[in-house]
Amino acid sequence: MTERKHKLTIRGLTKRYGSVTALDHVDLDLADGEFLTMLGPSGSGKTTLLWSVAGLNQPDDGKIWIDGREATDVPASGRDIGMVFQNYALFPHMTVAENISFPLEMRKVSPPDRSRAIKRALEMVKLEHVGERFCNQLSGGQQQRIALARAFVANPSIVLMDEPLGALDKKLRDHLQLEIKRLHGQLGMTVLYVTHDQEEAMVMSDRICLMNQGRIEQIGTPDELYFRPKSLFVADFLGESNLIPGRVTGEEAGCLVLELPGFGTVRTRSTAPRPHGPDIVYFTRPESIGIHADAENKANRLQGRVSEVVVSGAITKLFVGIGDATLKISLLTSGSQRVRKGEPLTIGWDDDVGRVLSPSLMEAA
């Protein structure tokens, strides 16, 4: 990432609304052509950050560079940015073509070049035939595709998208996720995307930046955040996990030895910084645990009993009672590897798939 040019650099960005700190010293770098998603619960500062980059609010502290030029005090109209909002924000009294033309007019593009760019943008979102219609004559999904066309028609440095699919039903959302990914690949644009939907973030992003109360909790590839969360907050926010409280009791051959009361003893080769005190929460993903033959020769092997089997299409979820705890395991559904409720089961997992996290939700491990 370091040798690539940075499209966007943010240092120490801070924004307060009265006593609320919406952004708290945020540092962020966006590489040229990168698709980065700001993910986090409602109120964590995602929209505030996007507005700061767009020049739509005035930060209290910190600096922003776009394309290597300082933009902190540049007005919104002078920043080379395209934007898509959740609720389309198209001009209803204008035709589709007039809407898409707007950013081109702002940049004083000549009329013939404008026509060509509008035509190309409409082709890209596969709506060649609606140019003369008014926006309120289009469906929600069509309007959002027009909003996309308008955001990138002028080939801006960065496209900002704030929950652009939030108002659409699931099927349309899935379709437009792929459409946005295709356009990103085709145009090579740099995208800063906002969503509170972790699946959407996992599907779409090169990197995810998980926000918590105005601060970056963790930034990395979807895989890093999913399998190597740095805190309980990250583990808990993304997908399902097994979280078992316990204590570090020793170290053995490069592994931490953990006593998990009511569960057992496990070993983990955790390279991440460990919590200061002995109290920890042990983390594994349900996908990381194997059964039967897949449990053999693993550093951690335990006996349990299947308490529930849930088949949801391609994935089978097992709940396995071990001591006083219940472990979630997810497997690919297979005809040959049937597991029945009530049966005893050997499970196993490697010492490099677990993580040791701080028991505090707010403190990074």
Ligand X SMILES: Nc1ncnc2c1ncn2[C@@H]1O[C@H](COP(=O)(O)OP(=O)(O)O)[C@@H](O)[C@H]1O
Residue 229 backbone zone (phi > 0: left; psi -120 to 50: alpha; other: beta): beta
Q: Which is nearer to Mg ion, 162 or 364 (CB)?
A: 162
Number of residues interacting with Mg ion: please give it, by CB under 5 A: 2
Q: Which is nearer to Mg ion, 46 or 328 (CB)?
A: 46
DSSP state of 1: -
Question: Which residues, 6 or more positions from 132, have their beta carbon under 8 angstroms from its beta carbon?
Answer: 95, 96, 97
Measured from the CB atom, is 22 or 104 closer to ligand X? 22
131 binds ligand X (CB under 6 A): no
Parallel, antiparallel or unpaired: strands 190-195 and 158-162: parallel
Radius of gyration for the alpha carbons in the chain, expressed in angstroms and rounded: 24
CB-wise, 46 or 79, nearer to ligand X? 46
Q: Which of residues 160-179 bind ligand X (CB under 6 A)?
A: none
**Among residues 44, 47, 142, 284, the one that binds Mg ion under rule CB under 5 A:** 47
Q: Segment 8-67, which members bind ligand X (CB under 6 A)? A: 17, 20, 22, 40, 42-48
Contacting range for Mg ion; rule: CB under 5 A; set: 4-12, 43-51, 61-69, 169-177: 43-51
**Residues counted in the chain:** 365
Neighbours of 276 (CB within 10 A): 9
Helices 140-152 and 170-187, packing angle to 10 deg: 20
The single-letter DSSP state of residue 273 is P
Q: How far is the CB of 62 from ligand X (least distance, A)?
A: 15
Q: How far is the CB of 64 from ligand X (least distance, A)?
A: 16
Report how far Cα 117 is from the mean position of its chain's Cα atoms. 31
Distance CA 235, CA 240 (A): 8
Would you say 47 or 144 has its CB closer to ligand X? 47
**Contacts (Cβ under 8 Å, ≥6 apart) of 322:** 263, 264, 302, 303, 304, 347
Q: Which is nearer to ligand X, 145 or 196 (CB)?
A: 196
Angle at 246 between CA 242 and CA 250, to 5 degrees: 120
Smallest distance, Å, CB 97 to ligand X? 32
Q: Which stretch binds Mg ion (CB under 5 A): 24-32, 45-53, 144-152, 235-243?
A: 45-53
Part in contact with Mg ion (CB under 5 A); list of ranges 7-15, 44-52, 262-270, 328-336: 44-52
Structure tokens at 303: 């006996």
Q: What residues from 318 to 347 belong to the interface with ligand X (CB under 6 A)?
A: none
Binding site for Mg ion (CB under 5 A): 46-47
Binding site for ligand X (CB under 6 A): 17, 20, 22, 40, 42-48
